[in-house]
Amino acid sequence: MKITAIRTTPVLAPLPSPLRTASGSIERFPLVLIELETDAGIIGRAYAQAYLPELLPALEGAVAGLGGMLLGQALCPRDLHELLRRRCRLLGLKGLAGMALGALDMAAWDGVARSRGEPLARTLGAELRPLRAYNSVGLYGAAEVVAVAEQTVAAGFAGLKIKLGFPSFAEDLAAVRAAWRALGDGPGLMVDYNQSPSTPEALRRCRALDDEGLEWIEEPVLADDLEGCARIAAAVRTPIQIGENFHGPGEMRAAIAAGAMDLVMPDVHFVHGVTGWLEAAALAHAAGLPMSSHIFVEASAQLLCATPTAHWLEVLDAAGSLRRAPLVLRDGCLVPSDAPGIGLEWMEDAVERHRA
């Protein structure tokens, strides 16, 4: 099969409630929906996402620009991945270029799995299986987090992740303890600082959270401060989780060498797509690191089935308002889609309604 067209559609996908963090709030997810068409009539689907709507036109341009380099090429994802890596050697693959590569790689793999009539996990040599899933939410104070935790229990999640990073640690601690009271003895609890504290302040807060029974503390300092992450990981008993901002497997390799984390959670988009994820999974396996996912729940569910050290699946359903098939939760686990490919079919009326 040869690639004949790359189509992009920018949308602002609504969320059930705003995603608040210490750095700002997201009310609608800026997404670029991608269709990769072949001369056999197979269409591979994926999406790219930018946190800021102001950057959505630039992300769409990057996807369309790199996608144009694939026209006329055979639908062989690893070869396409290497082609784009070579073409971007002078520019580099951080930021928008790497994000565009990751999204196009996902679309290519989706197309291959669709051509075989099977879910992506099976194309990768794995079988579908339920994945332990947690509800990923925003920054909520002690009074607000109770309702969120109760909703998490009612929905049947195995875990809840809340954002921290209030002006005072007392507010962080109050939110954690209020969440625990509402969760009871059921779901686990994770926290995410989204890189908001300074290294000394992060060290102080993380140490103070050590007796709170948390599954992990995520991104306590700036994502590229591997030395700071390593200091905290060495000093704190609670596992430290990073990885969503690794731009390609090379950055994950550097983080492993620095001892920057106890757990790892690459983002399939940022880590350069399915091809990059498979390399990251091999690195995690070699290092003995439990590996979780970051958003992109549809692709991540397929990929975790093929990940030797698979740990947790994050459920922050950025595209859920546009996708035909709802997510299926059972006994604390998400059941991956058994549709061909990644499982992306759009509600066209919703796409048009939320087109940017």
Active site residues: 163, 294
**∠ Cα 233 148 157 (to 5°):** 70
Helices (H) and strands (E) in the chain, counts: 12, 12
C-alpha pair distances (Å), 85 with each of 47, 91, 105, 315, 316: 19, 10, 11, 30, 29
| Burial 174-197, CB ≥16 within 10 A → b, else e | bbbebbbebbeeebbbbbbbbbbb
C-alpha pair distances (Å), 190 with each of 111, 157, 222, 237: 35, 13, 18, 14
Residues 6+ apart with CB under 8 A from 352: none
Nearest in space to 91 (alpha carbons), one of 78, 79, 100, 104: 100
Q: Which residue has the tokens 């000394």?
A: 200
For residue 90, how many other CB atoms are within 10 A of its CB?
5
What does the DSSP 8-state code read for residue 344?
A: -
Nearest in space to 342 (alpha carbons), one of 166, 121, 65, 130: 121
